[in-house]
Structure 1
Amino acid sequence: MLGKLTRRGLWLALAGVASTFAAQATDLTLNQFRVRGPAGGNDEFVELFNAGAAPLDLSGYKLNASNASGTTGTRLTFPAGTTIRPGCFLLLTNSASGGYSGSVAGDLKYSTGITDDGGLALLDAGGAIVDQVGLSSGSAYKAGTPLASLGSTKADQGYARRQSAAGVPQDTGDNSADFVKVAPTAPHNSASACVAQAAALSIADSSATVHGAGDVAMPFTVTLNQPAPDGGVTVHVATRDDTAKAGTDYEAVDTTLSIPAGQAQAQFDVTVHGRSTPSDDKDFLVQLSDPSGGVALGDGSAVGAILYDIPVAAEIWQITGHDAVSPLLGKSVLTHGNVVTAVGPQGFTMQTPDARADADPLTSNGIYVYTGGAPAVGVGDVVDVAAKVDDYYNLAELKNPTVTVTAHGARLPKAIVFDEHTPSPDPDRLSCGATNFQCFMSMRVKIERGMINTGNKRFSDEPYAEVSITANGKRSLRLPGVEFGVPVPDGVSLPNWSGNPEVFKMNTADFGAVPANTPFNAGTTFGAEGVISYDFGAYTFIPTSFKVKQAASIPRAVAPVPPLALRIGAFNVERFCDSTFDTTYTCSGDSKEPTPDQVALKTRRLSSYIGSVLGLPDVVSLEEVETLGLLQGLAKQLGDDYPVKYDAYLVPGHDPSGINVGFLVRHDRVRVLSVQQLAADETWDDDGQTEYIHDHPPLLLTAQAGLLRFRVIAVHGKARQNVDDDTAAAVRDRQKRFLQAKSIATQVQALQRAEPLTPLLVVGDFNAYQFSDGWADVVGLISGRYRDSENQLKLGGPNIVRPALWDAVESVPENDRYSYLYTENFGEIQGYTKAGSGNPGRTVPTVQVLDHALLNLPARALFLRMQYGRADLDAPVQTEDDAANAPDWTRAVGVSDHDGFVVDLVDPLIPPLRR
């Protein structure tokens, strides 16, 4: 029976939900179609046919399509007023480039094609499937055995529906039986001659829902496709058992039905017996036979679906079960004596009292009750709820509830404490088995050491929306190891990084804990109580009470320069470009370069960052600057904004978009002795092509501050972009990064050997972590701390740099070790879904160190501290946009996708500061 049920779209048996529509809709069929033609893959049409006796209103109907993996989408929504007359056609055609090439004009057009091995379906205005055809077993749309794909040949071929003995389209509910290949195709449109149908009788499927012990009438309609002639028409009607049994589940019918002259329909009822206990849904058959007057049978059989919706008494944990989807989905339930724990604008959460909670840690004792408006309950109320179990994007909820308050002021169930152990930070030992949060859904949760990990996202109607949080007081840091979910390369002793499964979302305003659109900066700590929910594919904490413990400010400047100290900084300024497109690719990375006004604005914003956030370093390395002229303009802007004078230094490299590394140096404090590129001409064999190793060759500054002679190498390594992938491009990029690091290490060692007592710092955007990612430890190689056992690419000998350099990041407090924010997307994992648009799966905003300062032994002996300035990574998106034109130093917020840093060194004889 499944084929017929699927074809009619009347009974979704797994969900126990009935969907009914006008009986005439069963006369509407997908009559002929082509998903590829002489012009190619978009040369498509879909022909509809109305085999009934009355016009059909198709307003709001949809043509949907599926690919071979079951992903579906709407190709066309029929406009209001669309009709199809009896015995007539409607032609839908693809209007995309290379689209429908036939001579018969389409009545309605769509612009996204249907795959050769997918499927298509016609849905009514309520979303029920009227008819469907599949071209592969993987298609979401098919009936019975799907058709064979006609492949990718550009030919005029398609499928057409067979005709029954009555001259109407055959519709047995099995695609392979109902369709035949046609070549060439012969589409019809609304202007084509309509088909005079021989008189034929059809019966439509029906359903009835049983809610209790009372009997229910299930109506059936028999339709003649044209008015009955004089004397009328009779037909024999008989029921037959399937899973439902006559006498027990329904009363059998065996009778003759009459359709009077001039009429086209007749109805009869089948009595369905009620019951007081739950049951699986059942069905029986109805068969037409022996029509009078030479009338043929069109669709002579129907399914009667008995849908049992008898309320089940259940505890909350029986409703929620172990998985995302409730085991009682679609059923009516009665649940008694639960405590309201949180109240929102359209519903409330309730939880089993502690005394009745189940002992299974993998089931939730909480559930959301959707009321559709402000609920008439308060926190602490004890309630009985009768409702239907529903699923809202994997959030189990009770819908259409009847709520009875039986008591007030009850003690709330004990909250689960989220801390350094819960939710679990170990992906191999998640708190809820296969997930980290499912067993806490809609339950009370207490967070004592909350940490906001990102500033607010922004949605169209919410300038300050959700934030990323942890409950362990730690930022979501990238930790050592191979990317989570990526196989550890052969010969590498590192484990996988955990992927930070303890990170989740927070929507602070949903239950009124704070006013809507309240901004939060990353680094803010808080305490809160609330409930766990599921919001568009991701687990989310909704607080009922919320208190900020320590608010993080934006921008957050580094501490002032200590007396008798030299300050050296680095900052990736994110494509500081001029307005002229004179490179292979645009410098901006967009389709065009910035306007002069945009360049001037960025210059002012960068001046505020360097001057006020980084505290006017004596030397600052800048990465991603296009020209020396831009850097000189920034030096002038700094001089206009602050009582200092900078000189600019930049030597062009080989980047096809024109970005380079450069220096700004305060000439009132530092005397520049030389600036030179290193290894600019080194090449490598890039798949048979000789290419430069360094797109941005390192830049060496030799300078003197007071009596202190020192050196700074500015670096900007190749981006990580696809390093963790299993592709030829990733292999190539890993090799280039490894060669770049070897080259810089060789230059560093040569400088150490030539002047072993001269302080040397290697600073900038290394595009690498302070530990190995399992492929090539760029920082470790440059600093002389490379371990072959931790890397796929082997050095094959002793470290190049000896003595080793020290990464000053190690001196920075752990929660402050980051200069870049990257959102890792792990897909459908740990209960996170890609169920719909905007649901990317498990996405984890992760802060990481890409910008480093490596110090040799003489520099480390002078080291005071390293600090990151904060203006770019921790702000809400809306704050960044608002800050751009601020009248003060807050214009620095959001000027780059990196945060810069400074390193302070003791220099007893440096000239006094002028601020």
Structure 2
Amino acid sequence: MRHHKRLHALFALLALPFAAPASAATADLLLSEIIEGSSNNKAVEIYNGTGAPVDLAAGGYTLQFYFNGGTTPNFTLALSGTVADGGAFVIAPSNANATILAAAQQVSGTSWFNGDDAIVLRKGGSAGALLDVAGQIGFDPGTQWGAGLASTADNTIRRKATVCAGDADGSDAFDPAGEWDGYATDTFDGLGSHTASCGGGSLPTDPTASGGASPASLAAGDATLLTVAVVPGANPASTGLTVSADLSAIGGAASQAFVDDGSNGDAIAGDLTFSHQATVAAGTAAGPKVLPVAIADAEGRSAAASIALSVVARVDISDIQGQGVGSPLAVGTEVVTEGIVTARRANGYFIQSAPGDEDGDPATAEGLFVFTNAAPPAAATVGNRLRVAGRVTQFSRTPHGYPLTQLGNSSATVLAGGQALPAPVLIDESVLSPGLSTAALGRYQGMRVQLPAAKVVGATNAFGDFHVTLPTTPRPAREPGIAALDAVPLPAGNNIVRFDRNPERLRVESTGLEGGSALNVDAGTLIEGMQGVMYYDRGDFTLLIGDSSTLAISGGAYVAAVPAAEEGAVRVGSYNIENLSGGESVPLNRLSKLSEVFCQYLRNPDVVGLVEIANLETAQRLARAINDNEFGTCPTSPMYQAYLLSTSGSQRLGYLVKTAPLADGRPRVEVDSVTEQFVGDTLTAPDGTANGVLFDRAPLLLQGRINGERGRSYPINVLLNHTLSLLDVNDLTPRAVWGTDGDRSRGKRLQQAIKVSELVESIQAADATAPLVLIGDYNAFDFNDGYVDVMGIIRGEPAPADQVLVHGDSAVTRPLVNLIGTKPEAERYSYVFEGNTQTLDHALVNQAVIETTEATLYHARVNSDFATDNAADPTVPVRTSDHDPLVADLVVPAFLDADLATTVFTPFKLVFDGQVVPFVATVRNRGQSRALRPEVTLRIDGTPAQVRQVLAAGWDCGAPVAVSGGSEVFCGRETPMAAGEIDFLLVNLEAVRLTAIDSVGLRAQADTRSNDTRASNDAGADSAKVVGRPRWTWGD
């Protein structure tokens, strides 16, 4: 905001000559320094290089200020006093700080210029000749002329020594960088002197100096080394230099002499750095202090400087950390604390309260990170006890997490060396278990900790980081809902589930401390003996470790292939191949590994959807390596043909289709069409305008048939998708029209999901009996993530509106089935992120597939559980991607020729009333193929009570139920019956005579999902005659 300028009465209060170095001759006075600092810290310096003293009043010299681009002066100040030859004359407002006022010869008023105001020096009164101007009359630059330090706002600018004439044209453009040097805000150390070197020989110069304190922040009672580095005057060179400072602000002498003789803290005698070891008096009030410094030489020349320091309060580490996470102290609070250096890293070091100095509260951390931005200082040697002065800061790499409390702008003083380190705290179930608070580990922030044993649940990434749990903790998986620390605003009244981030996880940085190197470990690895420092970064509490050579490491993940395809199986695979590119020049090491994965671990599915492949040439190169057994791992050629249509982007979608011929000469897969969907569709912004393409990777639909032996075929539609990444779903960066980048991400994910659901519905509406398989990387979980229920919409079962941030309806009226549900719960993942298993790659099928196949999902475990270093190892088939490829195994019963033959036998042909009669039902598969889901229906002509027992190993038989004309028992078997396999079912029935002629009998009828080639032998029956007194009642 522009300052409103109000003119006050302006009076010249003081005009004193100032002895300054003579310099080269100039035609007249010029502006030599302008200070536009903080608050009221303003000043203008005028230089006299004319060769003679100048009487300002006699010459009618004036300063004029043109505010905000004005063409007439808003303020004119008549100057008075004398400027010595080679001297400088300083004008300042009365409310400037003490350092400026001490250098001023004329003090006037309380309201001065800003960075966008032109400053003019005239001779001969207010309408006299224009000698010099800083700025441009009649032009408002906005806030300042220039840029960076060489600008007119919030900086000090000084005329270059080579400039010996003012700018007499007030209308020309002004750029300070041409004739001025820039300095930081509130730089005053050169005020009152100026040197010009544009001719006229070498003239005398004053000494100059700069002061400092080490440490510059300290508590009352602490010592600091005050130093003043002096540059002697020249022509002639300074002799007899003296330095003194007013230390009364810290309880010292008003005129304290400094020495350059190697005593009293002075490092080197005679090096022109004058020193004094000072102690801040007890009781000195906290706050910034400025100590004025005076320098003089025997030649009668002098200079002024200052030393800035801060007196701050001394606090314990536990008081800086507070309870839990965050600090109770305001950011920017300057503190002094003490602790033992426990560890170092590339940009700082850790200190921890010495034994006995702790506060006794287990909820407060006793450690603290000191951020140095570069390598830690030598004082921060492990084992040194330090007194550290610094400023409390909170570091957050992401808004979706806790801040890390640390000290910045620090200085350190060694109090003692070789101190014993505090004992490490044990990490156990009390702070690392499911169901705990996400802040449970905050009590150990910055402290030494130990983890005697841990199990890796997220393999090492490219930065040397991995995730662990305690050894007995079940492996954590991503769960429904928005992550607990995500800072995205949620609407009132929502019922969105919050995912607790699995507080049983702990992130480990193997390169976190000095001496650390990347520890490459796979999921399932047991690590014993870890010690380090507790830290917080990237949204997770983190164990920083250094040298890992002494750790005991055992176990780890094992590669696992999908089962070999059985007869009758149709297989559709999906593989996010992680940016495979290169065309004919795909790196051979990667091509070799991929060939082995496809042939030995995926077992060459009939159709494979490729995600993140660069172009058709790359897909064809991969197909050729597999087909030609280029690397010796593909003995049977699938004769893959590649399909890829997209011509935009680097992450495209494609297919490999198996064309190897069957015994009858037909190719295994026949493709009718491959088409891109929604290529021209655009994303619709909230204001209704188009906002870029909707699908960066257009869905790819393959339609055709997969052929089986004996002339059979299975029609299929395969839809391959790669929907928008989750990376920006919670991004808070502002974005026009949408609100934030996260809003746009969520909107795009929603619109993509709805479009895919519309395509699914259109395919099913055209032919509800047409099998449909959806595959690909959906960048979405198999459940509602609370932001957008992508898979629910595509599947046809979207989450309710109050359980999701952005809701959308699905066009699907006959829901799909996600085959991830066919897997054991612990195996439901294709990806591991931050130690959480999760499914991003999906295989969904419609009811037509469920009704015509036995559908199962498999994953080849070759990537997600393994450390990224394996990617560069050509000898192992792992880490060709960060996703595990999947295979939808669809066993088509119509491809299997079975023949279930059933017989029933009882050894008794005549039985008595009440006798238990054994029957044996024999079921044999006489066909050449497996019988899928065999079942037998046992029928008796009697009541359920007559069924005393059914014994059938491997079969699941239900209770007898009454049906019309008798009772039935249904028996089913989950496992297929192999060709030639025979099973026996023993059925014990009670004989009951109700009529004069009665019998007890059993009929067994077999069935299977496979193609039963002969129905005539599916059933068998036998019976026995019942004798004895009939069970009738007279008179009924």
Which amino acid in the other structure matches residue 745 of structure 1? S
Query: For the Cα contact (< 8 Å) 1:527–1:548, is it kept in 2?
Result: yes
> What aligned pairs does 1:721-736 form with structure 2 within 5 A after superposition?
722=728, 724-725=730-731, 727=735
Residue 662 of structure 1: CA displacement?
1.9
**Counterpart of 1:676?**
673
Q: Distance in 2 between matches of 1:213 and 1:742?
A: 70
Picking from 165, 176, 182, the partner of 1:158 is 176
Residue 794 of structure 1: CA displacement?
5.2
TM superposition score normalised by structure 2: 0.52
Residue 612 of structure 1: CA displacement?
1.8
**Counterpart of 2:487?**
485
Query: For the Cα contact (< 8 Å) 1:332–1:389, is it kept in 2?
Result: yes
Q: Distance in 1 between matches of 2:274 and 2:812?
A: 92
Picking from 217, 223, 226, the partner of 2:234 is 226
- Whether 1:870 aligns to 2:861 is yes
> What aligned pairs does 1:806-845 form with structure 2 within 5 A after superposition?
806-813=817-824, 816-820=827-831
Q: Distance in 2 between matches of 1:708 and 1:672?
A: 9
Residue 520 of structure 1: CA displacement?
0.9
Residue 685 of structure 1: CA displacement?
5.6
Which amino acid in the other structure matches residue 711 of structure 1? I
Query: Larger deviation: 235-244 or 809-818?
Result: 235-244
Q: Distance in 1 between matches of 2:357 and 2:176?
A: 65
Picking from 774, 786, 800, the partner of 2:811 is 800
> What aligned pairs does 1:320-331 form with structure 2 within 5 A after superposition?
none
- Whether 1:558 aligns to 2:524 is no
**Counterpart of 1:644?**
636
Q: Distance in 2 between matches of 1:516 and 1:172?
A: 43
Picking from 568, 573, 580, the partner of 1:569 is 573
Picking from 837, 840, 856, the partner of 2:846 is 856
Provide Cα deviations, 1:466-495, integer angstroms capped at 9, x if missing partner: 434455554574753379333347997535
Q: Distance in 1 between matches of 2:222 and 2:762?
A: 94
Q: Distance in 1 between matches of 2:487 and 2:454?
A: 28
Which amino acid in the other structure matches residue 609 of structure 1? V
Provide Cα deviations, 1:437-494, integer angstroms capped at 9, x if missing partner: 4633223243655334132425xxxxxx343445555457475337933334799753
Residue 390 of structure 1: CA displacement?
7.2
Residue 416 of structure 1: CA displacement?
3.5
Residue 784 of structure 1: CA displacement?
0.9
Q: Distance in 1 between matches of 2:706 and 2:569?
A: 15
Aligned residue for 1:243, secondary structure, equals helix
Aligned residue for 2:757, secondary structure, equals helix
Residue 415 of structure 1: CA displacement?
1.6
Query: For the Cα contact (< 8 Å) 1:208–1:305, is it kept in 2?
Result: no
Residue 156 of structure 1: CA displacement?
4.1
Residue 557 of structure 1: CA displacement?
2.9
Identity over aligned pairs, percent: 17
Picking from 442, 456, 464, the partner of 1:451 is 456
Q: Distance in 1 between matches of 2:857 and 2:700?
A: 25
Aligned residue for 2:496, secondary structure, equals coil
Picking from 581, 596, 599, the partner of 1:608 is 596
Residue 785 of structure 1: CA displacement?
1.0
Query: For the Cα contact (< 8 Å) 1:244–1:284, is it kept in 2?
Result: no
Which amino acid in the other structure matches residue 611 of structure 2? E
Q: Distance in 2 between matches of 1:452 and 1:425?
A: 18
**Counterpart of 2:119?**
none
Query: For the Cα contact (< 8 Å) 1:470–1:503, is it kept in 2?
Result: yes
> What aligned pairs does 1:690-729 form with structure 2 within 5 A after superposition?
695-705=698-708, 709=714, 711-720=716-725, 722=728, 724-725=730-731, 727=735
Residue 769 of structure 1: CA displacement?
3.0
Residue 773 of structure 1: CA displacement?
4.7
Which amino acid in the other structure matches residue 842 of structure 2? H
Q: Structure 2: which 5+ residue stretches go unaligned?
A: 1-20, 22-30, 36-46, 50-85, 88-141, 158-170, 259-269, 396-404, 684-688, 897-928, 931-1036
Residue 631 of structure 1: CA displacement?
4.8
Residue 628 of structure 1: CA displacement?
6.2
**Counterpart of 1:127?**
none
> What aligned pairs does 1:365-376 form with structure 2 within 5 A after superposition?
none
Query: Larger deviation: 490-499 or 699-708?
Result: 490-499
**Counterpart of 2:871?**
880
Query: For the Cα contact (< 8 Å) 1:572–1:765, is it kept in 2?
Result: yes
Which amino acid in the other structure matches residue 695 of structure 1? A
Query: For the Cα contact (< 8 Å) 2:623–2:656, is it kept in 1?
Result: no
Picking from 651, 658, 665, the partner of 2:658 is 665
**Counterpart of 1:440?**
445
Which amino acid in the other structure matches residue 226 of structure 1? A
Are the structure 2 counterparts of residues 819 and 695 from structure 1 closer, same or farther at C-alpha, using a change threshold of 3 Å? same
Query: For the Cα contact (< 8 Å) 1:330–1:388, is it kept in 2?
Result: no
Residue 597 of structure 1: CA displacement?
3.3
Are the structure 2 counterparts of residues 708 and 758 from structure 1 closer, same or farther at C-alpha, using a change threshold of 3 Å? farther
Q: Distance in 2 between matches of 1:178 and 1:199?
A: 14
Residue 778 of structure 1: CA displacement?
3.3
Which amino acid in the other structure matches residue 815 of structure 2? A
Query: For the Cα contact (< 8 Å) 2:458–2:832, is it kept in 1?
Result: no
Are the structure 2 counterparts of residues 804 and 243 from structure 1 closer, same or farther at C-alpha, using a change threshold of 3 Å? same
> What aligned pairs does 1:167-566 form with structure 2 within 5 A after superposition?
173=186, 193=199, 196-197=202-203, 200=206, 205=211, 207=213, 225-226=233-234, 240=246, 242-245=248-251, 249-250=252-253, 252=255, 272=278, 285-286=291-292, 297=302, 299=303, 301-303=304-306, 317=318, 333=338, 358-364=360-366, 386-389=385-388, 400=414, 402-403=416-417, 415-417=426-428, 421=432, 430-431=439-440, 437=442, 439-446=444-451, 450-457=455-462, 465-470=464-469, 473-475=474-476, 477=478, 479-481=480-482, 484-488=486-490, 493-495=495-497, 504-508=506-510, 518-526=519-527, 528-534=529-535, 539-542=542-545, 546-548=551-553, 550-553=555-558, 555-561=559-565, 565-566=569-570
Residue 571 of structure 1: CA displacement?
1.3
Query: For the Cα contact (< 8 Å) 1:357–1:365, is it kept in 2?
Result: no
Picking from 775, 782, 788, the partner of 1:770 is 782
**Counterpart of 2:886?**
901
Residue 306 of structure 1: CA displacement?
8.0
Aligned residue for 2:873, secondary structure, equals helix
**Counterpart of 1:3?**
none
Q: Distance in 2 between matches of 1:867 and 1:504?
A: 29
Q: Distance in 2 between matches of 1:663 and 1:349?
A: 58
Q: Distance in 1 between matches of 2:228 and 2:514?
A: 51
Q: Distance in 2 between matches of 1:747 and 1:237?
A: 85
Residue 525 of structure 1: CA displacement?
4.8
Aligned residue for 2:361, secondary structure, equals coil
Name the Cα RMSD after superposition. Answer: 6.3
Aligned residue for 1:521, secondary structure, equals coil
Q: Distance in 2 between matches of 1:366 and 1:677?
A: 60
Residue 646 of structure 1: CA displacement?
2.4
Aligned residue for 2:586, secondary structure, equals helix
> What aligned pairs does 1:25-64 form with structure 2 within 5 A after superposition?
none
Are the structure 2 counterparts of residues 696 and 268 from structure 1 closer, same or farther at C-alpha, using a change threshold of 3 Å? closer
Aligned residue for 2:626, secondary structure, equals helix
Computing the radius of gyration from Cα coordinates, the structure with the larger value is: 2
Which amino acid in the other structure matches residue 789 of structure 2? D
Are the structure 2 counterparts of residues 270 and 762 from structure 1 closer, same or farther at C-alpha, using a change threshold of 3 Å? closer
Q: Distance in 2 between matches of 1:493 and 1:712?
A: 37
Residue 880 of structure 1: CA displacement?
0.7
TM superposition score normalised by structure 1: 0.58
Query: For the Cα contact (< 8 Å) 2:781–2:840, is it kept in 1?
Result: yes
Q: Distance in 2 between matches of 1:870 and 1:424?
A: 29
Query: For the Cα contact (< 8 Å) 2:787–2:806, is it kept in 1?
Result: yes
